[in-house]
Amino acid sequence: MSDLVLGIDIGGTGTKGAVVDVTTGKFVTEKIKYKTPEVSTPEAVLDVVKNIINDFDWTGKKIGFGFPAIIKNGTACSAANIHKDWINFDIISYFKNAIQAEITVVNDADAAGLAELLFGAAKDRKGSVLLLTLGTGIGSALFVDGKMVPNTEFGHLKWKKSITENYASNRARKSKNLEWLEFGKELNDVINHIELLLSPDTIILGGGISKSFEEYKECFKTKAEVIPAQLKNNAGIIGAAYYSTLT
């Protein structure tokens, strides 16, 4: 049982969880997903978290959370795609008071990146590796020689009249009704900008949209190799679960 951890990935649109074998990165249960409440206050999100725990009848010691914010010492320091009540909110203490388990929390994109590093597309890659998760926003995770640089926020880089995630996230693709090649061009422009800042060796595109990589891969004119994530939308759950073993 010590190798099994409940991973829960809290996102701006959906909240999903599964029990993970952290030695292999494999799910040992089906994934359960709920819609993240539109008014995603701490109280509302906790109700969804409790539903997932009850659905699994989880009585294990550990629960690892991925959360869409800058996370420092278990506290959310931002709230881009979730209710502003989370800013400067002690997530660990709040969840511990409501849930009888050992709680860890990590930025959701960092969780996805950690999973890809250990079990997916970034495994055994040398140099600097950047994961971009393309969903409601753009999450980012940066690894240099296998070590994580936490809480990067490249989805919030100033870009054109706004920020990058308002042009190259999956939400932006849908809201602007972009064809795949139109979306690929927008994403390539954003990646070119990030390359000027970081010069990564590998760029991995994650989130559910990575399963459509073949539709827009021809758009990339980059120095770095651009590849799709292997773990798709499961990466955040796997990484959140694994992160609980590091603390």
Does residue 99 share a domain with residue 132? Answer: no
Does residue 59 share a domain with residue 137? Answer: no
| 116 assigned to some structural domain | no
| 42 assigned to some structural domain | yes
- Residues above pLDDT 90, as percent of the chain: 95
| 119 assigned to some structural domain | no
Residues 6 or more apart whose CB falls under 8 angstroms from that of 231 comprise: 25, 112, 115, 116, 119, 120, 121, 206, 238
Does residue 134 share a domain with residue 100? Answer: no
pLDDT tens digit sequence for 67-113: 999 999 999 999 988 999 999 999 999 999 999 899 999 999 999 99
pLDDT tens digit sequence for 146-178: 999 999 999 999 999 999 999 999 999 999 999
Record the pTM: 0.95
Residue 196's domain is classified under what CATH number? 3.30.420.40
Q: What domain range is 220 assigned to?
A: 125-229
**Domains identified in the chain, total number:** 2
| Residue 25 CA from chain centroid, whole number | 15
pLDDT tens digit sequence for 175-219: 999 999 999 999 999 999 999 999 999 999 998 899 999 999 999
Q: How far apart are CA 31 and CA 242, in angstroms?
A: 16
What pLDDT was estimated at residue 71? 98
Kindly give the pairing relationship between strand 4-10 and strand 62-67.
parallel
Does residue 221 share a domain with residue 139? Answer: yes
Does residue 219 share a domain with residue 134? Answer: yes
Does residue 173 share a domain with residue 139? Answer: yes
Is the pLDDT at 56 greater than 90? The verdict is yes
Does residue 98 share a domain with residue 173? Answer: no
Element (H, E) at 148: strand 147-149
Does residue 54 share a domain with residue 36? Answer: yes
Does residue 14 share a domain with residue 48? Answer: yes
Is the pLDDT at 1 greater than 50? The verdict is no
| 178 assigned to some structural domain | yes
Q: How far apart are CA 68 and CA 76, in angstroms?
A: 9
| 90 assigned to some structural domain | yes
β-bridge mates for residue 71, sequence order: 76
Does residue 142 share a domain with residue 67? Answer: no
Does residue 92 share a domain with residue 61? Answer: yes
Is the pLDDT at 247 greater than 70? The verdict is yes
Does residue 222 share a domain with residue 208? Answer: yes
